[in-house]
Amino acid sequence: MKKTIITFFTTILVLLASVPVSQSVNAAAESKEQSTPIVVIIEGHHYHAVLNDSVPAKQLAKRLPLTLKFSAMAQGIDEKISDLEKPLSTNGTPVGADPNPGDIAYWSPQPRLVLYWGDVGYYPGIHLLGKFTETDRAEAIKALRDQNTDFNVQILKDNPSSPVNTVTPLRGEAKIVYKKGYGVNLWKSASTTGGFYPGRKLKHGTRWKVSGKQNGFYRVGKNQWIQGAYASYKSY
């Protein structure tokens, strides 16, 4: 009898412990499946981002590809805005949000797409749509911050077989912008998952010839790449 009771409670504990884990895994998998990778092209440079699974984000994804003209909202407000021809539904989304730098959002009081390069605080009417990827976020923020006039932006779905993910030819040089006395990694491919060359550092302030760009990385040699977030590029 005692053995039966112990077995019964052990079974109950196992079942209770397994339910939230299973639900968590399924929810994470579902969220990953429903998110939409996109590419945001600013001044010819490609920055990767992802749209979430909210209603307005899904509606925006269905409209891609888009070419929009962005401009500064107002002095002191760290965002770039573009008016949309048709509004997006905000069903099921919070009434407001506090976006982070690098976030992409919809402003519902007017149908506007917003790219944030700084901290603007919480406002009712902001609905988060997605964000730039970790790899490209710093450089995308810099690109947005540096735009002093109106500029065109292309937004399209990220298709691995698309020419967007091939190397964009460039002819210029990159100056390493890091910390005095330190250097940045030299990567084996245009991705941090490809590994870097141990012991190879490009020192702050040095200049390197650039022949191409991909995924936010500059190509400075055969199978040699540097992260664009730590470089200032100038074309010849």
Two tokens, residue 186: 């030299």
Q: Distances from the Cα of 38 to the Cαs of 52, 69, 114, 224, in angstroms?
A: 11, 18, 15, 25
Task: Give 169-225 pLDDT, tens digit per residue.
Answer: 999 999 999 888 999 999 888 877 667 898 899 999 999 999 998 878 899 998 899
pTM of the entire predicted model: 0.58
Name all domains of the chain by residue range, CATH numbers in brackets. Answer: 36-157 (2.40.100.20), 167-235 (2.30.30)
**E strand or H helix that includes residue 22:** helix 2-34
SS (HEC) of the chain: CHHHHHHHHHHHHHHHHHHHHHHHHHHHHHHHHHCEEEEEEECCEEEEEEECCCHHHHHHHHHCCEEEEEEEEECCEEEEEEECCCCCCCCCCCCEECCCCCEEEEECCCCEEEEECCCCCCEECEEEEEEECHHHHHHHHHHHHCCCCCEEEEEEECCCCCHHHCCEEEEEEEEECCCCCCEEEEECCCCHHHCEEEEEEEECCCEEEEEEEECCEEEEECCEEEEHHHEEEEEC
Two tokens, residue 149: 């006039």
Q: What is the reported pLDDT for 160?
A: 58
Q: What is the reported pLDDT for 165?
A: 57
Q: What is the reported pLDDT for 193?
A: 64
What is the chain's pLDDT, residue by residue, as a tens digit (236 residues)?
444 444 544 444 444 444 443 343 333 333 344 689 998 988 778 889 999 999 999 999 999 888 899 998 877 789 999 999 999 999 999 999 999 999 999 999 999 999 999 999 999 999 999 999 998 899 999 999 998 889 888 898 887 555 555 788 999 999 999 888 999 999 888 877 667 898 899 999 999 999 998 878 899 998 899 988 889 999 88
